Structure 1
Amino acid sequence: MRTRGRTYSGRNAALALVLVAAAGSIAAAAEVDPAQLDESIRRIRMGTLVIEAPPGTEVRVEQLRHEFWFGAAIASHVFGDRVNSDDAARYKQVFLENFNSAVTENALKWHAMERRRGEVDYSAVDAILAWTEEHQIPLRGHNIFWGVSNQVQPWLKELDDAELRETLKARAIDIGRRYRGRFAEYDLNNEMLHGNWYEDRLGPEITLDMTRWIRQEDPDAVLYLNDYDILTGRRVDDFVAHIQKFLDQGVPIGGIGVQGHLHGDSFDPVALQPSLDKLAQFKLPVRVTEFNFPGQRSKHYGNRRTRLTDEEEQAKARAIVDYYRICFAHKAVQGILMWGFWEGANWIPASSLYRRDWSPTPAAEAYRNLIFRQWWTDWRGKTDSQGRSEVRAFFGKHRVTAAGKEFIVDLKPNEPTKVVSLKSE
């Protein structure tokens, strides 16, 4: 049947990354075939809803939520007393309008929770979890451990090996027990490819021990490896070997996290796709866990007062769309989480979707057009002479309305066709 409304619209223009050079000039970079990406998206991100009702019955299919994670980091201070109440309320409202999943930015990090030995502050984690659960937002726990040396609390470094091991065990057990079943997944030990002080002190088995201690209290905990400079192609081969090492040890890796920080004023699409291909060999879910654009290698990193020109804002919007399109078209990727979306709570303010006064940037408008228009099912029609409507729909939750009745249907990749029948009623 012909569709009315929107279920999918391809991009007709060539998918070209815009480079913002240091002098401010703009040039086109390598291209990725947009037709091929669009075809991949249709093939791997869509299923079919079959509505059976008397011939000529009017039918409406409205998407409510994507199965794919389009998420963002949640700033701890928004859930405390360091942001005024109006901004805190607006932050939560805008989050819910744009994102379906979340990650703790700093709240769960050990050095934030236990700056001094024995004084554990759970307040930010508890507040964020309570809010995400209220709104049915799956939450990543970032992170249980972070073994890069400069992220390890000084008091931990003063412990002898036996005390250190017992303290790590206590941390794992505490998180597993207190938050059992509440986090959708965790980053186990952050950025081990770039440093693992715990392993240097206690030996190569400590990572497996960490998982055993967590699983002792939370048997279903999903534990991710998470690292950076992978999607640039610079460390992807190292990361592949790193993952394989842990799998060979028997570490129960539940997924692969790849940060999206290490881009500059541009990104290389020709590096992004092959990097994802290499990670896909493990048959594990891949999430882009910490995405900023412009990124950490940008001239805007470290300068919170920098402002993009109008031309750079447009380039940023195009680049974000291109990045998301490449990731959404890749079967291994199951989500992208921005590392900040509001200029008032973003470590790279220039990468924000919303300015400090909450006005949307061109990137916000481009993001919303992509997620909630191009990749959003909104269909109206009638059943045919056989009493059927077959609607191609993006995986996720939908409301189906027909003959005065309403059904909520969850369309998933493992069951790509679902039938809603009113004929027997």
Structure 2
Amino acid sequence: MSSTGESLITTVLEDVPVEKSGKYFFSCQVKLVNVAPGCMWHKVIINALLKSNRTRNAGTKRCMAQMPQMTPEDGWVDIEGDIQVDQDTTKMTIQVSSDADVKYEVDEPELSQIVVNENWKEQANRRIDKIRKGDITINVDISDEFDPSKVVIKVKQLSHSFPWGTCVKAGALFGTSAADKAYTAFFLKHFKWATFENSMKWRFMTPTEGKTVFSTVDRALDVLIPNGIKVRGHCIAWGKSTKVPVWLRSGDAKRVEEAVSKRIDELADHYQGVFAHYDVCNEQLHGDWYEQKTKDPHYIDQMFLKSAAQDDTVDLCLNDYDVCSKGIFTSAYRRQGLSMVERGVPVSYLGIQSHMGCYPDVDLLTKRLQILAETGIPLFITELDVRQEDIELRAQGYEDILRLYFSHPSVHGIIIWGFWKENISYETAALAEGKKNIKWNQAGEKVHHLWTKEWQTTEKLRPQNKEESFEFRGFFGEYELNLEYDGETQWTHSFSLEEGKDVNIDVNV
């Protein structure tokens, strides 16, 4: 290893030959020796310098990983990251750096190539069959007076137990315009979970200190809850300074703690038992405003603990970006989740935003999911979008990432970040179009096909004998069975197929 001294950059691997367009995974251990005066903690950064035959300087710098909020008390910390090098890259140098006046040690640097998995889709389909389905057995007993050839048993899945939803504009759900009504009708037809894009955020609910406005969220919930929609509360607080309510930004530690406590109390008093999830402190790996203000490096723990004490019906989540769509914060998120669980913090889910600014790379995503799953904490995809101008690429990108996520045993739900071109953060991620008559576009049709055809169970059974049993696998969810004789329905039966509970139904004709 070589060190550049004052620049606090340590070269740990130098001019390593790489394959053009190759995918690589890097890991090392870093230990801080000190914290600079006046600082709570520091960030360690892993950069790659990509060199080609035409490169005359140090090479193109690309960030592989960041580990924020490190202190000497943490000891040796595992830092990992990945990269796909450029098409003309021939060599790669990897460097570690931190803030000025910070000393650190690096150990066990290791670089390995990520092998491209050409069979990932077939493997994913096998996992889906294994983890998202259960066994259904239909035992048919037909009396002598009936002809088996006229008996038809239709089994239809009505809904999925796997959470599938989208973020929504709260105001549009109770709006009176034709566009609002079309938006709401389309949403209710195709989704079972919702996240309010902005209306639940603290700075919007309480723009003025002491004056919390519940009406927008309340009116939207009046549409969602009666229709059986489960809702994620996004979010109680947000760690970035620009996302903190303006009236709170100049407050001292006591005022901040009192305001946070009141925020949690107000939500619990007003929405007890309403929300399925809360994102407790949004994007905390990217913003430590509350920790700095309170001078408590574990202040987020108190947010979780108080939220759990005030409403024990809701699951409490972390929520962050660049933890799976990119590998920059993947190992940092793993560390955050593990450390919070070790401290007894009730983290129900690791929320993975998944804003895909480029085409999803299944090999890199698989590696990142593996790292996050090491926490043992369930994963929930909270803000998925695939931003592609080319509609065909967008369609394939959504299909690939949904198939990968749905096939992973640690993923417990998927929320996309909007669907309608007229009401979405990025039009290049839209799945539906039209002003008053909203329809799936090409990408939306692909997504819709997955959830309503490929990943939905429908069976039509025709007995050939007086006594016969039919066995098949179905996706977990709610079902309806219809027994028809000579074209007319004779009996209807509803049932649920749950994980770990196979279904056995006797049908007597």
The TM-score with structure 2 as length reference comes to 0.71
Determine the C-alpha separation between the residues in 2 that align with 1:372 and 1:219: 34
Please name the residue that 1:24 is paired with.
none
Pair 71,318 (structure 1): closer, same or farther in 2 beyond 3 Å: same
**Structure 1 gap segments, 5+ residues each:** 1-20, 22-28, 299-307
Q: Is the 8 A contact 1:72 1:101 kept in 2?
A: yes
Kindly provide the CA deviation profile for residues 80-122 of structure 1, in whole angstroms up to 9, marking residues without a partner as x: 55xx521111111111232221112111110110011111111
2:407 is the counterpart of 1:329:
yes
> Which of 1 and 2 has higher RCO (CA within 8 Å, sep 6+)?
1
Determine the C-alpha separation between the residues in 2 that align with 1:143 and 1:356: 30
Q: Is the 8 A contact 2:282 2:320 kept in 1?
A: yes
1:366 maps to which of 446, 466, 470: 446
Please name the residue that 1:420 is paired with.
505
2:185 is the counterpart of 1:93:
yes
Q: Is the 8 A contact 1:148 1:194 kept in 2?
A: yes
Q: Is the 8 A contact 2:319 2:352 kept in 1?
A: yes
2:236 maps to which of 144, 147, 153: 144
Q: Is the 8 A contact 1:54 1:383 kept in 2?
A: no
Q: Is the 8 A contact 1:106 1:112 kept in 2?
A: yes
2:274 maps to which of 182, 192, 195: 182
Determine the C-alpha separation between the residues in 2 that align with 1:206 and 1:337: 28
Pair 201,65 (structure 1): closer, same or farther in 2 beyond 3 Å: same
Determine the C-alpha separation between the residues in 2 that align with 1:161 and 1:411: 50
Kindly provide the CA deviation profile for residues 265-313 of structure 1, in whole angstroms up to 9, marking residues without a partner as x: 312111111111122223332111001111xxx7xxxxxxxxx3xxx11
2:380 is the counterpart of 1:380:
no
**Number of residue pairs the alignment of both structures matches:** 378
Kindly provide the CA deviation profile for residues 355-386 of structure 1, in whole angstroms up to 9, marking residues without a partner as x: 24334311011111111111111111134643
1:125 maps to which of 217, 242, 247: 217
1:258 maps to which of 352, 361, 367: 352
Please name the residue that 2:261 is paired with.
169
Please name the residue that 1:9 is paired with.
none
% identical aligned pairs: 28
Determine the C-alpha separation between the residues in 2 that align with 1:367 and 1:129: 26
Kindly provide the CA deviation profile for residues 7-61 of structure 1, in whole angstroms up to 9, marking residues without a partner as x: xxxxxxxxxxxxxx9xxxxxxx975522111111111111122223314452111
Other structure's SS at 1:390 match: strand
2:328 maps to which of 219, 234, 241: 234
Alignment of 1:186-205 (within 5 A): 186-202=278-294, 203-205=296-298
Give 1:236 deviation, angstroms.
0.6
Q: Is the 8 A contact 1:382 1:389 kept in 2?
A: no
Give 1:216 deviation, angstroms.
2.8
2:349 is the counterpart of 1:269:
no
2:419 maps to which of 320, 338, 341: 341
2:391 maps to which of 305, 313, 318: 313
Other structure's SS at 1:139 match: strand
Q: Is the 8 A contact 1:293 1:351 kept in 2?
A: yes
Determine the C-alpha separation between the residues in 2 that align with 1:346 and 1:274: 29
Determine the C-alpha separation between the residues in 2 that align with 1:284 and 1:51: 36
Other structure's SS at 1:117 match: coil
Determine the C-alpha separation between the residues in 2 that align with 1:383 and 1:151: 62
2:120 maps to which of 18, 29, 33: 33
Other structure's SS at 2:346 match: coil
Aligned partner letter, 2:405:
C
Please name the residue that 2:491 is paired with.
405
Q: Is the 8 A contact 1:51 1:383 kept in 2?
A: no
CA RMSD of aligned residues (A): 2.0
Which has more strand, going by share of residues? 2
Aligned partner letter, 1:373:
K
Kindly provide the CA deviation profile for residues 116-147 of structure 1, in whole angstroms up to 9, marking residues without a partner as x: 11111111211222222111111111111112
Which has more helix, going by share of residues? 1
Q: Is the 8 A contact 2:174 2:180 kept in 1?
A: no
Determine the C-alpha separation between the residues in 1 that align with 2:416 and 2:449: 17
Q: Is the 8 A contact 1:51 1:388 kept in 2?
A: yes
**Structure 2 gap segments, 5+ residues each:** 1-85, 87-115, 143-147, 485-489
Determine the C-alpha separation between the residues in 1 that align with 2:333 and 2:298: 18
Q: Is the 8 A contact 2:331 2:372 kept in 1?
A: no
Other structure's SS at 2:317 match: strand
Give 1:215 deviation, angstroms.
2.4
- More off after superposition, 58-67 vs 386-395: 386-395
Please name the residue that 1:58 is paired with.
152
Determine the C-alpha separation between the residues in 2 that align with 1:45 and 1:188: 29
Give 1:166 deviation, angstroms.
1.1
Aligned partner letter, 1:405:
W
Please name the residue that 1:67 is paired with.
161
Pair 227,63 (structure 1): closer, same or farther in 2 beyond 3 Å: same
Aligned partner letter, 2:128:
I
Give 1:224 deviation, angstroms.
0.5
Please name the residue that 2:43 is paired with.
none
Please name the residue that 2:202 is paired with.
110
Pair 384,107 (structure 1): closer, same or farther in 2 beyond 3 Å: farther
Determine the C-alpha separation between the residues in 1 that align with 2:434 and 2:212: 32
Aligned partner letter, 1:37:
A
Please name the residue that 2:78 is paired with.
none
Q: Is the 8 A contact 1:79 1:124 kept in 2?
A: no
Q: Is the 8 A contact 1:30 1:268 kept in 2?
A: no
Determine the C-alpha separation between the residues in 1 that align with 2:307 and 2:333: 23
Determine the C-alpha separation between the residues in 1 that align with 2:458 and 2:425: 36
- More off after superposition, 312-321 vs 211-220: 211-220
Q: Is the 8 A contact 1:74 1:102 kept in 2?
A: yes
Determine the C-alpha separation between the residues in 2 that align with 1:128 and 1:407: 33
Determine the C-alpha separation between the residues in 2 that align with 1:31 and 1:257: 28
Determine the C-alpha separation between the residues in 2 that align with 1:134 and 1:371: 23
Kindly provide the CA deviation profile for residues 132-178 of structure 1, in whole angstroms up to 9, marking residues without a partner as x: 21111111111111121110112112222212211110111111121
Aligned partner letter, 1:398:
Y
Q: Is the 8 A contact 2:252 2:293 kept in 1?
A: no
